[in-house]
Amino acid sequence: MLITWGVRREVRSAQPKAAGSACDTPPRTPTGNGPYSESDPEVSGPGDGPDERLAKELSLKEAAAHDLSHRPKRRRFHESYNFNMKCPTPGCNSLGHLTGRHERHFSISGCPLYHNLSSDECKQGKVTSRDKQVEERALSHRQDENRHSTRNQAPSERQLRYKEKVTDLRRKRNYGLNKEQKEKHMDPRQSHGAGREPLLENITSDYDLELFRKAQARASTNLEKLRLAGHASSEGGNMIKSIVFGRYELDTWYHSPYPEEYARLGKLYMCEFCLKYMKSQTILRRHMAKCVWKHPPGDEIYRKTNISVFEVDGKKNKIYCQNLCLLAKLFLDHKTLYYDVEPFLFYVMTEADNTGCHLVGYFSKEKNSFLNYNVSCILTMPQYMRQGYGKMLIDFSYLLSKVEEKVGSPERPLSDLGLISYRSYWKEVLLRYLHHFQGKEISIKEISQETAVNPVDIVSTLQSLQMLKYWKGKHLVLKRQDLIDDWKAKETKRGNSKTIDPTALKWTPPKGS
């Protein structure tokens, strides 16, 4: 069933206000563009004229006739706010807003304390008067001629007068403060550091400073709206931009639900062996001096040259597996498992050197999978991508399925990179099988039993390679020698450096727990 969502819009009539003189309001430019009005038109009050009251009565009667009670009431901005969010400014209680219109704020851009103001000053002081000026200007612009009528024309007399007034306003500037003003306007950054905005008075003219304040208020309003819509990763919000992991600094791809006090930092520092996350380089350095871990916990079930795979039980090593899932979410879009790790086994691949076993990637697997999934989640760390480790992880998962004498398949949905890796792996498996196949009749079931690949995945791969045809009531598998030759040439060129050796596996299938 298709459900269409509609957005209900409220029509508000603007309350007439006394417009200023011609010199007080900026005229429309010759291109027809006027200043932006950031204030919403207000609902008409009791002082409206008879025409407005008549229009109200008619609209109420029409609403009652159509019985719109089933529609949800539109909530005001502050009613939709998530009160669990907090402003990152030190000492701020998240009350008030720079624009003076909202009950609370969540970001630095809307914080009155950061801008060296109080919530009362934002409601009653400069911001309110600034909004009135903007509304007066907007009302004046609506009464002007059409915005295209002044295009490609010389500036009018009113526009020239306004330009002269702006020039005069920009000349007025106080270049110094007396002793009392200096004591009163002490730079808050001297006592609060970067937690406050520096004083901007006497840096430029009052006119330009006012324009800057308007831009700040407009930006904070837009950011709040985006946050409520779920599209903004706020400044100081819950989006980690990068992580320091061993000798690498990695840019993250997606949001991961780390605790808020860590997520709002923007950069995390991680121990590459125990995966503990920290707030600063100093804490990481002290941790590394004391950390005794040099490899993942659990049992080492595979070793060939410097590549090892460890089997980690989510029930026995819960904290490590939770940290591993949080780390993986930074680079996977569809991952939803973070803390409920007890029903899973984690197979962690590492690359060893003289400092320890460094994390290359991992895949998780349910201990008891009803649908015989041999992989629940798979990840190759970004610094090891495009080096063949992804196919090694996939090959290792199918090797475990062969030992268990089962047919396996990855859990859906696959990520974009995961789908590309699996399709490439299935293609190689089929071409290798066909290269060594000498019989006349081939069976999908036999291929599945020998390779441990699910028959559905085999059929979809054959179809993508155009090797499966339907002829005279039978399905035929075509042996395309050109594809087999291309695979053989790439296999010879690549060598055996990044392959799984089944003889190096020392593993017994675990019993269900």
Instruction: Just list the catalytic residues.
Output: 411
End-to-end, the C-alpha distance of the chain in Å comes to 41
Count of positions (residues) in the chain: 513
Angle at 86 between CA 81 and CA 89, to 5 degrees: 130
d(CA 455, CA 439): 19
Amino acid at 505: L
Q: Annotate 232-244 with b (16+ C-beta within 10 A) or e (fewer).
A: bebebbbbbeebb
Measure CA 513 to chain center: 36
With a CB cutoff of 8 Å and minimum separation 6, the contacts of 253 are 330, 331, 333
- Residue 177, classed as helix, strand or coil, is coil
Please check whether residue 396 is in contact with residue 500, taking contact to mean a CB–CB distance below 8 angstroms. yes
d(CA 149, CA 33): 11
Using a 10 angstrom Cβ sphere, with 0-12 exposed, 13-18 middle and 19 or more buried, the burial of residue 505 is middle
Using a 10 angstrom Cβ sphere, with 0-12 exposed, 13-18 middle and 19 or more buried, the burial of residue 468 is middle
Element (H, E) at 417: helix 416-436
Alpha carbon separation from 281 to 230, 252, 270, 278 (Å, rounded)? 31, 18, 9, 8
Q: Of the candidates 263, 412, 409, which has an alpha carbon nearest to the alpha carbon of residue 334?
A: 412
Tell me the HSE value of 258 on the side-chain side, using a 13 A CA sphere: 31
With a CB cutoff of 8 Å and minimum separation 6, the contacts of 316 are 297, 298
> Quick one: tokens of 165?
């007034």
Q: Of the candidates 199, 57, 215, which has an alpha carbon nearest to the alpha carbon of residue 117?
A: 199
Handedness of CA 477, 481, 485, 488 (dihedral sign): positive
d(CA 30, CA 34): 10
> Quick one: tokens of 52?
């407005």
CB count within 10 Å of CB 467 equals 17
